[in-house]
């Protein structure tokens, strides 16, 4: 616990729970989105970015899991200084901004 708050880890698979979801076993050819993470403190903007990222991945039919990370140690490992932040394929693509679903779709 940090400052009396429970660490929150949330994952949402955009395949709607299909039993043959390839997200966990997907190879990583160049240009393919394999991971999407939202880094945040648990605030309203961070939750909204998580929802927007999940919706964008679903609308693009990407078989990836969108992960919400609030663990300060994991966030620091990315070198992020302002939140919310969006990480695609382990690369920080945005920080300190609440991106819309359309913005995220263009990035993907």
The CATH number assigned to the domain holding 74 equals: 3.40.30.10
- The answer to whether 92 touches 103, Cβ cutoff 8 Å, is no
The confidence score (pLDDT) of residue 30 equals 53
Interior angle at CA 108, CA 15 and CA 42, nearest 5: 70
Structure pTM?
0.72
Answer whether residue 1 is part of any domain: no
The pLDDT tens digits for 3-50 are 455 444 554 444 444 444 444 343 345 568 889 999 999 999 999 999
The confidence score (pLDDT) of residue 107 equals 87
Answer whether residue 106 is part of any domain: no
The pLDDT tens digits for 55-89 are 999 999 988 989 999 999 999 999 998 999 999 99
């Amino acid at each position: 616990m940090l400052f009396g708050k429970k660490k929150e880890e949330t994952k949402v698979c955009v395949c709607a729970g299909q039993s043959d979801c390839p997200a966990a076993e997907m190879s990583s050819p160049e240009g393919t989105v394999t991971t999407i993470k939202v880094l945040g403190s648990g605030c309203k903007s961070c939750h909204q970015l998580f929802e927007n990222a999940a919706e964008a991945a679903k609308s693009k039919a990407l078989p990836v899991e969108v992960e919400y990370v609030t663990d300060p140690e994991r966030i620091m490992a990315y070198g992020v200084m302002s939140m919310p932040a969006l990480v695609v394929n382990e690369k920080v693509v945005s920080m300190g901004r609440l991106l819309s679903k359309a913005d995220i779709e263009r990035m993907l």
